[in-house]
Amino acid sequence: MFFCKRPIQLSLESIGRRFGGLDHSTVIHACRAVQARTDTDPGFKIQVELIGQHLQARVPGIRSSDYGLTL
């Protein structure tokens, strides 16, 4: 959900539906949880950055700045 929110610009409701009919508040919670953990866990942040780099290399139009992380 974290990687869908910014670059794809889908609504929270739309993202939730694509993840099995989840509520928009679940999407918000998931994105905030990922951001909070990247702020406190350097190893997790590296993993998120690597996933972001992988997506950036394979999906046209995605930039590292879309995630608010330094990739």
Rounded alpha-carbon distances, angstroms, from residue 23 to 10, 29, 68: 14, 10, 24
pLDDT above 70: percentage of residues in the chain: 82
Write the single-letter amino acid at 69.
L
Question: 5, 15 in Cβ contact below 8 A?
Answer: yes
For residue 66, pLDDT beyond 60: no
Tokens representing residue 50 in the block: 């690597």
pLDDT tens per residue, range 11-32 = 899 999 999 999 999 999 999 9
How far, in Å, CA of 22 to CA of 57, rounded?
28
Q: Where are the domains of the chain?
A: 2-67
pLDDT tens per residue, range 32-45 = 999 999 999 999 99
